[in-house]
Structure 1
Amino acid sequence: MAVGRTGRYLLRACMLAGLPAVLAACEGRQSALDAAGAAARDILVTGWALFVGGTVIFLAVMGLALYAALARPERFPGRLSWVVGGGLLFPVVTLTALQIHEFGLARRLAVLAPDPALVVEVTGVMWWWDVRYHADGADPVRGANEIVLPAGRPVELRVTSADVIHSFWVPSLAGKIDMIPGHVNRLPVVAERPGLYRGQCAEYCGAQHALMAFDVRVLPAGEFDAWLAARRRPPPEPATPELARGRDAFFAVGCHACHAVHGTAADGLVGPDLSGIGARPSLAAGTLPNRVETIAAWIQAAQHIKPESRMPSFDVMDGDTLHAMAAWLESLK
C-alpha cells in the first residue's frame, strides 16, 4: 500500500522525535557518549565537532547543488570561483586545521607521567584478561577480568598480549590501544567519576572474541586504597562447614594447578587469578553474571558456555561438592 505525503511527513516526524531516545540508548557503562574520563571527554568533544561540522558541510553542499540544478545559469554567477573556493581552498583549509587539532589531541592523550603512583599491567589472553597492580613499591597485586581504579588519580596502563593481537578499549574512559605480543603499549588514564564501566577487546582474536569483555570499577580514592590493602591480605578462614568443604574440593580436584588465590597454597599462573572473585560483577570475562549458580555452571560446563576456551569442563563432581566449591569461591571478596 502506497504511503501518502501526509504519512511520509508523519513518519519523518516520528523518526526525529525518537532521535533523543536513540541517543539515550547509546549511553551506559560501555558507551563513548558517556564520558567518565579526561581522555574520553576530549575524544567525545572531537567526535561531536566532526559530526556537527560534517552535517553542516553536507547540508551546505546539497543546498548549493540543488540551487545550481534549479537556478538559471545567469542567476549563478562566478561558477569558477565556487569550484576553486568550495572544491579546493575550503577542503585544504578545513582538513589542515582538523589535522593540526588531531595531532595536538593525540599528543595530549599520550602524555605519560614521569613516575606514576599506580601502574596497572593488563595482558590479553585468549579469551580473558590478566591484571597486575603496582603501587607504593610493594609486591604486585594480581587480578583478572576486572580493573579497579581510583577516581581522580592518574593511572598508567601498560598493555600487552600473551598470544595474538588484542585491542584494549574502555569507551567511557579512554581510546583504544593495541595489545601486541612481545611489546608493551602505555596508556594514561584519569577516571573522573566513580562507577562501573565495561571494556571489550576491539580486535578480532578468535572464536570467543565476542566473549572477551571486562569490568572497570572506579572507586573514590580512599576506597581504592582500602581495597588494595585488603587484596594484600589472605582470605579469612571458611565460615561454615560447606565453605570449608568447597575450599578442600578446590585443592582436591586440582584447580590450584592453573589458578591462584592470594594467601593460600593456590599459585597457578595458567588461568585467571581467583583472589576476590566473589566481588567481581561478572564471570568468565563478562560472559556470565557472577553468583553461586553461575560459578557452578561455569565449572561444570565451561566448554559448553565458552567453546575452545582453555577452561575444561569439570563434570566429575557430585552436585553438593560442586555447589560448595562455587559457594567458597563466591565468598572470596
Structure 2
Amino acid sequence: MTDERLTDRCRPTRNRRFSAPLCPIALLLATCLVSSCSGNHSTLDPAGPEAAKVAQLFYVMLVGGAVIWIGLVSALIYSARKKHQHSEQTAGRVILWCGAIIPTVILCALLSYGMWLMPAIRPWVPDDQQVRRVEVTGEQFWWRVRYLDEAGSVVFETANEVRIPVGQPTHFSLKAADVIHSFWVPSLGGKMDMIPGRTNPLTLTADREGTYRGVCAEFCGESHALMAFTVRAVAPAEHEAWLAERRTSDPQDAEGLAVFLNNGCGACHAISGTAASGRIGPDLTAFGERGTLAAGTLPHTAEDIARFVAHPGRIKPGVKMPHFGMLPEHDIKKIAAFLKELR
C-alpha cells in the first residue's frame, strides 16, 4: 500500500478522534447559554417596556462589541501575514485606524445611543399622574412592602411579595433600613439601589400577567443570596379586588392565634385585625397566600414554616429572628398551621 493511500485512510480517523469529543461539549455549552435567556428572571425575556429597552441596549452593545473585536482581530491577522510586504508606515496606519479611530467612533456611537435610550429605561412619572404607589424597604434579609394611597399614606403592609396591575405603571419608593440594598426585577426593568436615609424612585410596568422573580443586587450580608422577592402582575380588575380584600383581615383559627400571641410572636410581627402589632419583623397579614417562605428561601409548606420558626438561623445565617426550638413541638406545629392558613 502506497504512502498516499495510507494518508487518505488515516485522515478520517484523526478527524473523528479530535472532533467527536468537541461536538457534545459545544452542544452542552450552547444549551446552557440558550437556557439562561428566558424565564421569569431573565433580562433577555422582557415582560415590560423598561426591560425591553434594556434588552435592546444589550443587543446593540453586543453587535458593536462584536464589530470592534472582529475588525481588530482581522487587522492583526492581516498584518501578521503581510508583515514582509508592507512598510512600517502602512502597518502604523492599520493600527491607528483599526485599533484607535474606528473603535473610538463605534464606542462613541454606542454611548450616544445609550444616553438617548436612558429616558425610556428610567421613565419619570409626574406627581400629578394617577399611578399605583408602593413603598419597598430593604432590610436584612427581607423586604417590607407598603401600599400607598394617592396622598402617600400607608393603606396596608405586607412583605416579600408585590402585586401590580398589568398595563399600568407602578411607582416604587425604594428605601433601606440598615445597609445598602438593590431592588432588581430583571424581567421588568433595571436595578435601583436602596440607600439608608434617602428615597429612590423607580417606575415599572408589566405588559403581561405572570410572576416575576426579583433579587437584591447589592451585597448586604451573609444571607444576601437568600433575599429574593416576587412581583405578581395581574389583571387590573383582579388587582382592585385584591386591594379591597387586603384592607380587612379576620383570622379563623382562634387557637392558633392564641398560641402565636402567647409565645411572643406578636411583639415582632403584625397581623391585621389581631393584637399582634410588632414592627420589627415582616407583617404576616394574609401570610397564607404567599408563594414562598423567608424571602424566597423555602417552599411555602407547613413543615418548612415549622423548620424556620424553630431554627431560622440555620436556614438564613445572620437573620435577626430568634430561634424557638425550645418551644414544645406541638406549639411550633400549631403556629405553622395557623400561619399557613392565614388569609
TM-score when scaled to structure 1? 0.91
Aligned to 2:193: 178
Letter matched to residue 109 of structure 1: I
1:52, CA displacement in angstroms? 2.8
Query: Does residue 1:47 correspond to 2:58, yes or no?
Result: yes
Secondary structure in structure 1 of the residue aligned to 2:276:
coil
Contact 1:112–1:156 under 8 Å retained in 2 = no
Secondary structure in structure 2 of the residue aligned to 1:111:
coil
Aligned with residue 124 of structure 1, among 135, 138, 142: 138
1:5, CA displacement in angstroms? 4.6
Letter matched to residue 246 of structure 1: G
1:320, CA displacement in angstroms? 2.5
1:134, CA displacement in angstroms? 1.2
Aligned to 1:302: 312
Letter matched to residue 320 of structure 1: H
Aligned to 2:205: 190
In the TM superposition, 1:167-316 aligns within 5 A as: 167-235=182-250, 237-238=251-252, 243-316=253-326
Aligned with residue 89 of structure 1, among 101, 106, 130: 101
1:108, CA displacement in angstroms? 2.4
TM-score when scaled to structure 2? 0.88
Q: 5+ unaligned residues in a row in structure 2: which ranges? A: 1-12
Aligned with residue 155 of structure 1, among 146, 149, 170: 170
Query: Does residue 1:107 correspond to 2:119, yes or no?
Result: yes
Letter matched to residue 74 of structure 2: G
Aligned to 1:22: 32
Aligned to 1:140: 155
Superposed CA RMSD: 2.1
Letter matched to residue 172 of structure 2: L
- Residues 58-99 of structure 1 show CA distances to partners (whole Å, capped at 9, x for unaligned) of 223222222221236437994444333323321222111111
- Residues 112-166 of structure 1 show CA distances to partners (whole Å, capped at 9, x for unaligned) of 2113421111111111110111135574221111111111110111111101111
Query: Does residue 1:329 correspond to 2:343, yes or no?
Result: no
**Using a 3 Å threshold, how does the CA distance of structure 1 residues 32 and 84 change in structure 2: closer, same or farther?**
same
Secondary structure in structure 2 of the residue aligned to 1:192:
coil
Secondary structure in structure 1 of the residue aligned to 2:52:
helix
Secondary structure in structure 1 of the residue aligned to 2:311:
helix
Query: Does residue 1:68 correspond to 2:83, yes or no?
Result: no
Contact 1:129–1:145 under 8 Å retained in 2 = yes
1:252, CA displacement in angstroms? 0.9
Contact 1:116–1:155 under 8 Å retained in 2 = no
Aligned to 1:57: 68
1:9, CA displacement in angstroms? 3.1
* Equivalent pairs, count: 326
Question: Larger radius of gyration, structure 1 or 2?
Answer: 2
65-74 or 87-96, which deviates more: 65-74
Query: Does residue 1:319 correspond to 2:329, yes or no?
Result: yes
Aligned to 2:6: none
1:16, CA displacement in angstroms? 4.2
Letter matched to residue 117 of structure 1: V
1:204, CA displacement in angstroms? 1.0
Contact 1:245–1:325 under 8 Å retained in 2 = no
Query: Does residue 1:38 correspond to 2:49, yes or no?
Result: yes
